[in-house]
Amino acid sequence: MKQKILIVEDFFVEANHLRILLTRAGYEVTGIARTFESAEEAIRQDHPEIVLVDIFLAGQKTGVDLARLLNRQNIPFIYLSANSNEEVLKTARETGPSGFVVKPFREKDLLAAIGIARYLHESSREALWRKEAAFTGELDRLAGARRPWPERMLCLVRALQQFISFDYVAVGFIGPVYMPFNALHFLRTGFDEYQVMDSEGFQTVSRINPARMVASMAAIKLRTSPVFFNAVQFQIACQESGIRSLVGKTFDMHSNLLFPLPKISLDGRYFFLSLYSGRNDAFNERHLELCRKVQPALQHAVEEMTRHVMPGFPQVRLDEGIELISNKVPIPGPLGAMIGESHLFLHVLDLAVAFAATDSSVLIRGERGTGKEQVAGGIHALSARSDGPFIKVNCAGFSAGSMEGELFGFENGGPGNARTGRFGQAEGGTLFLDEIGEMPFEIQLKLLNVLQRHEMERVGGRQPVRVDVRVIVATSRDLEKEIAEGRFRLDLYYRLNACCIRLPALRERIDDIELIATHFLEYFAEKSGRGHALRFSEKSIRMLKEYDWPGNVAELMDAIETCVLFARTEIVDDIKLPSRKS
C-alpha cells in the first residue's frame, strides 16, 4: 500500500515539483491545498498519513494553525519553509512537527525527512501502546488488592505518575453539592514521595474557609471528557474554577489535566482525577489520547475498588489531615544520587527513568554543569545495557578527519594498524557523545546513518559493520541556532529530538539550592575530616539563592568545597561568589 501524503503549499510550481518528486519516490499524493481551509477539507476527505505543510499559506491562517489541527487528529507533519530564522523555528518547534525541511531542499533530504517522520510517528504510537498496556496491567493488580481507600488511591496515583508526569493530583468524587472527605489531594514532594491531604488538610494548607469551599464547588463546571489547560489557557480556566485557581496559587501550578470518569457516579457526583503540573507546557494531545484509551480499564478498576469500600462514597479522613508518604525503593545508580525536589528536577528523573526502559537515542540539553553526564550515566545504569560498557566522547575540538577515526575506528591496513573506534568499544552498551553541537558537519551525516541503519563504516573499510550501541548525546548549545546558521543538520536534530530531556539551570530551581548545598557541605566536611559540624547561616543561604550560578551544580560544588576549606567556625556565614544577580 502506498503511503498517502497531502501537500499544503501556496506556490503552485513548488507544490507541483513536490508532487512529481513524491510520486516518483512511490508515495500517493492525495492532493495539493493552498489554504488552511482547503487543507482542512482535504484532510477530512482523503485521510492523509503525512502532511507536508508550508509555514506561510495564502489566507489568514498559517501552517502553524494547521499544525494544531493535525496534532488533534494525530497526523504527523513536516514543515517546509524558506525561512529558517530562530523565531520561526521556535514557534514551529512548539507545535511538535515530525520534521522540518528548509527550502531549497535536496530531494534526498526531503525523502529522509519523510522517512524519519514515519519512524517517529510509529515509535510514538508504539510508545503510547506500551504505556497503555503497562498502565492497564497496573490497574488490574490494583482492582484485585484489598486495601484501605487512601492506600488504593496512592497506588493509583503512583501508577499514573509513571505514564503522565505531574506534581499534584486531586482524586475522588466531585459534584455541585460539596461533601467533605470525598477527595484526596497528593502533592509530589520527591521522586516517589507525596504529601497527602484530605479535604480538611487541603483547606488548612490552602487557607480556604469551608463556606468558600462549598461555594467554589457549587460553581464548578462539570466536564465529562478529558481536557487539559496549559499556561495562558490555565489562567483562563482558573477563572472558571475557584478550586483550580486555589491549587494554582497555593502550589505554584501552571497546567491542569482533568480526567473525569462520569460513569462512576452517585447523586450527581462522579469520580475524577485532576492532575496539575508546575510546568507551563506539561500536558498535550497524547496525554488525552492515553486517558481515552485507559478509561475503560480505569473505570473497571475504580468500580471494583469502590465496591469494597462503599456503600455510599468512600469517606476519606486522615488522622492528622495531612500525611507524608515516602518512597521505600530509591532509584539505584547515578540518577538516584542526584539531589533535588523541585518539579523541574523531578520531571527530569521521570523522563530519564522512562527513557531508560527504551533503547532509543536520547538528547540531553542543558547548560554546563547541570548534570548531563550524570543523567546519561543514570539512563545507561537503569537500562537493559547496564552490564555493557558506557563510553564517553567529547565532540569538541575534533576535526572531521580525526573524529571519524575516533568514533568508527580504522580498518586493519596491516600489522598494528587496526584500531577500534569508540563505537566498537561501546558494543553492547552505550556511547555518550558530549557537546554534540560541536560535532563536525560531515560526521553528523555518518552518525545519522549509524542511528538509522545500525551500521557503520570504518576508516579505510569497504564493508559496513553492524553495531549494537545505544547513543546518548548532550549539548549545552542552542541547537536551533546552530541549525539556522548551517552548522547542525536538521535531519539529525529531528532524529535525536524524539527523546529529549532538558536539564534546568540551577537558577530555575532555586528551591533545590539549599538542599544541594547542604548535601555538598556535609560531603566535603566529612571528606576533610571535620565531621558533620558545619552548617549555613541564614545570610549564606540567602547569598546562595541570590547568585545566578552560570556554572550550575558544578560551580555550586566548587564554591562549597572552598567554604569548607576556609571555614573557621561551625557556621558558614560568608560565601565567596564572583558577582551578584542584578
Ligand X SMILES: Nc1ncnc2c1ncn2[C@@H]1O[C@H](COP(=O)(O)OP(=O)(O)OP(=O)(O)O)[C@@H](O)[C@H]1O
**Which residues of the chain form contacts with ligand X (CB under 6 A)?**
338-340, 366, 368-374, 434, 476, 516, 553-554, 557
CB of 552 to ligand X, least distance (A): 7
3-state helix, strand, coil in the chain (%, to 5): 45, 20, 35
When the beta carbons of 306 and 476 are compared against ligand X, the nearer one is 476
Q: Residues 148, 149, 150, CA angle at the centre, nearest 5°?
A: 100
Kindly tell me which of 113 and 348 has the beta carbon lying closer to ligand X. Answer: 348
Nearer to ligand X, 372 or 385 (CB): 372
362-365 and 500-502 as β-strands: parallel, antiparallel, unpaired?
Answer: parallel
CB of 151 to ligand X, least distance (A): 31
Which phi and psi (to 5°) does residue 87 adopt?
Answer: -65, -45
Q: Which residue has the cell 485532576?
A: 274
Min CB(409)–ligand X separation in Å:
25
Q: Tell me how far, at minimum, the Cβ of 544 lies from ligand X, in Å.
A: 14
Amino acid found at 409: G
DSSP assignment letter at 436: G
Determine the Cα–Cα distance for residues 501 and 486; give it in Å rounded to an integer. 23
Which three-class secondary structure state does DSSP give residue 228?
strand
Residue showing cell 450527581: 268
Minimum distance from residue 390 beta carbon to ligand X (Å): 13
* Cβ nearer to ligand X, comparing 336 with 405: 336
| Count of Cβ atoms closer than 10 Å to residue 440 Cβ | 17
Q: Is 542 exposed, middle or buried (0-12, 13-18, 19+ CB in 10 A)?
A: exposed
- Radius of gyration of the CA atoms of the chain, in A: 27
Largest CA distance in the chain: 87
Measured from the CB atom, the residue of 138 and 434 that comes closer to ligand X is 434
CB of 487 to ligand X, least distance (A): 18
Strands (E), 165-217: 168-174, 183-190, 193-197
Contacts of 26 (CB under 8 A, 6+ apart): 2
Nearer to ligand X, 76 or 366 (CB): 366
Minimal CB distance to ligand X: which residue? Answer: 371
Q: For residue 92, what are the contacts with CB-CB under 8 A and spacing of at least 6? A: 55, 63, 64, 67, 79, 81, 100
* Nearest approach, Cβ of residue 350 and ligand X (Å): 14
Closest separation in Å from C-beta 563 to ligand X: 16
| Smallest distance from ligand X to CB 342, Å | 10
What DSSP element (H or E) covers 350?
helix 343-356
- Residue closer to ligand X by CB (options 54, 512) is 512
Q: Where do we find the cell 453539592? A: 177
- Provide the angle, in degrees to the nearest 10, between the axes of the packed helices 285-309 and 107-144: 10
C-alpha cell at 25: 519516490
Cβ proximity to ligand X, 366 vs 421, nearer residue: 366
Q: What minimum distance in Å lies between the beta carbon of 509 and ligand X? A: 9
Beta bridge partners of 188: 194
Residue 241 vs 475, nearer CB to ligand X: 475
Nearer to ligand X, 19 or 477 (CB): 477
